[in-house]
Structure 1
Amino acid sequence: MKIGIPKEIKEAERRVGATPAGVKAFIDHGHQVFVERGAGIGSGFKDEEYIKAGANILDRPEDVWAEADMVMKVKEPIGPEFDRMKPGQILFTYLHLAADKELTEKLLERKIVGVAYETVQLDDGSLPLLSPMSEVAGRLSVQMGAYSLEAKNGGMGILLSGVSGVRPARITIIGGGVAGFSAAMVAVGIGARVSILDKNPLRLRYLEDITDSRLVTIMSNPANIEEECINSHLVIGSVLIPGARAPKLISRDLVRRMMPGSAIVDISIDQGGCCETSHPTT
């Protein structure tokens, strides 16, 4: 198979669809790999490393798409990439189609075989290709929440950890999956007062055990979500229904009733977001 790895063109996206080690694995299995020049620079991989692994370096993205039977990317195709697709081509990337009707229609129109990383499941229901990114997003969500709560950024000016004589911030995490758990571990480590909501009592019991009861676990329902959001300085949405649009659990009215200067970080935004007022910012 001919595999193409174009450079990502979405704003601020610096990742690449395959590392030189991944390319070598393809080559060792008899495939041909075409990499756009400079595709790996943002991730710290030089063209020479791809060449050493056996890849062909092409100057233009159009040539990568034209050569490839399968295109491997990180983010969904945008803008000029639609015209580079060819019927029957396999597109292997994060797609999040549940929240993007236009992209879905474009893929159908171009007769693309789309394989979304976030929908690949093992027999136990786990998501091996989504989990690593969920872990990153969960940990980063606390960092971004802290940034948003700084007074200079329009926040209420509260420190998540608190200081001697001052209470730490209250953080509510909706969803106890990989992203929610990762966010909770960072938040608990900082010293914040953390509540995590989930529909699965077994998952909540696990989260309580693994954190030595340093967080509060709460069954997820509308009443509990409302109470926790109203009393929290930072709310992190990490709800996931594989392959489906995220449910709207935080209404516009509830956002209005939250503390002035509080913050919401909606990790679920790739699937449409779990807050009615959420929109992508990157």
Structure 2
Amino acid sequence: MRTRETWSALGFATPSVLGLGLFTLFPVGMAVVMSFFNWPMLGGSEFIGLDNFRYLFGEDPDFLAALRNTFVFTGLYVPLNILLALGLAFWISNSRWQNLWRVLFFIPAITPMVANAVIFKLLFQLVGTEPNLLADGRTALLSVVAMSVWQGFGYNMIVFSAAINEMPKPVLEAASLDGATGLRRLVSVQLPLISPALFFATTMTVITALQVFTQPYILTAGGPGNATETLVMNVYQAGFQSRDLGLAAAAAWVLFAIILVVTFVQFLGQKRWVHYES
């Protein structure tokens, strides 16, 4: 029976394992190899070692601009997303129409991002400002951030709302009896109680922000100039416009390394502020 169960389990797992290997592990492995080659989309390849990485950090102004824009976008988008989602979650937790507000605020997160970006592009063009918000290098990235926050805060709001509703009532009542009210109650009691949800939402939001592509691609196509070009856009342009797959793979691995380091630092830091129930 144990052997039969083993073969049954392998049979059910095989399609997923094959899909994972064919569409995930194999492309990842090929990207590692290609990053060390001059690998045009058409034609032969040539081993060049670390030259792709040297070019990215030493001679490619577009990549450095994309790197800067990605960090600026992340630095603006993550706090705005978290603060807006957290504030609305606490607000609707005291509303009798809690379920209705959840649905309304969550709608942008489940609507197609391309459609939302096209609508926002039209809205920005209809604002009538001079110069256009998306055509001005000083405001283009801020406009992308604004659209992205509107699109994405609903997911974190649902996460925070669920965590707030699960806060243990005896702890909150004990805090009230001890005189913890207002800001003191929020900082010393409520936020520590929902810190696992905060950690999860922050980590996932940072990863999402570092991989931003659709919003700037639809709204500005990376312009004006390269004011809104991001790392994923740089990978796309290197691979499918310049047709340099080796350079695109190298840029993709730089992005992977950044996400890996940032996530590792977040997991190290969680020991200081995330409180799990024992």
Q: Select the structure that is richer in strand.
A: 1
TM over 0.5: no
Q: Which has the higher contact order (CA 8 A, sep 6+)?
A: 2
Give TM-score scaled by structure 1 length. 0.25
Larger Rg: 2
Give TM-score scaled by structure 2 length. 0.26
